[in-house]
Chain A
Amino acid sequence: DTEVTQTPKHLVMGMTNKKSLKCEQHMGHRAMYWYKQKAKKPPELMFVYSYEKLSINESVPSRFSPECPNSSLLNLHLHALQPEDSALYLCASSQAWLSTDTQYFGPGTRLTVL
């Protein structure tokens, strides 16, 4: 099973809402990632977890709060978002955080902030 699943597929939220994005993999991978992708742009890294510890935070605003409850799950908690945060949010995983490791991406959650 080389699948990364993400829920929900689509999410519409107001600026005062609190919501969460979920990501799951059962490949035994120990590195997990959140990316943000705006329309017609490449994915941009937001966070990296390695062995369930936050290893990289790419200066992401605190209204995005990642969480890695265990080695298979990755959450992204959203609060007080802005309309410019509307984007496709991609989760990925890899065996470890090494230069040769392939990253496996989920299909993404398309987020719209009203």
Chain B
Amino acid sequence: DAKTTQPNSMESNEEEPVHLPCNHSTISGTDYIHWYRQLPSQGPEYVIHGLTSNVNNRMASLAIAEDRKSSTLILHRATLRDAAVYYCTLKKSSGDKLTFGTGTRLAVRP
């Protein structure tokens, strides 16, 4: 299975942008990059996903390197409610499982 590596923890100031990196050097051509986050005492929630092109949605942006060996989740203006563990995951084609990496614990300072 392709693996992802992320920093264990990061800190950000409120209302500043946050860039959460993820390395996936063994990614294959059919792997989609998914990001989930888990707020305290909750189940994971979907953030964003992509294959090759950069993606934007109301929660975040996903920047994918040209060689696809790394990606960056961008929160444009961090809020205290964004404090969570962020998981970068890879999922292959139909019928494959979602395997969570170790995740990055994001702390947001007021």
Contact = CB atoms under 8 A, between A and B. Distances in A.
* A, B in one complex: yes
Interface of A: 4, 41-45, 48, 50, 55-56, 58, 90, 92, 96-100, 102-108
6 contacts: A50-B95, A90-B44, A96-B94, A99-B92, A99-B94, A102-B46
Given A45-B99, A48-B97, A99-B91, 12 more contacts: A43-B44, A56-B97, A90-B43, A92-B44, A97-B95, A99-B30, A99-B96, A103-B44, A105-B43, A105-B45, A106-B43, A108-B42
Nearest to A42: B100
Nearest to B89: A42
Interface of B: 30-32, 36, 41-46, 49, 87, 91-103
Contacts of A50: 95
B44 A45 contact: no
Given A92-B43, A107-B43, A100 B49 contact: yes
A105 to B, nearest CB: 3
A50 B95 CA distance: 9
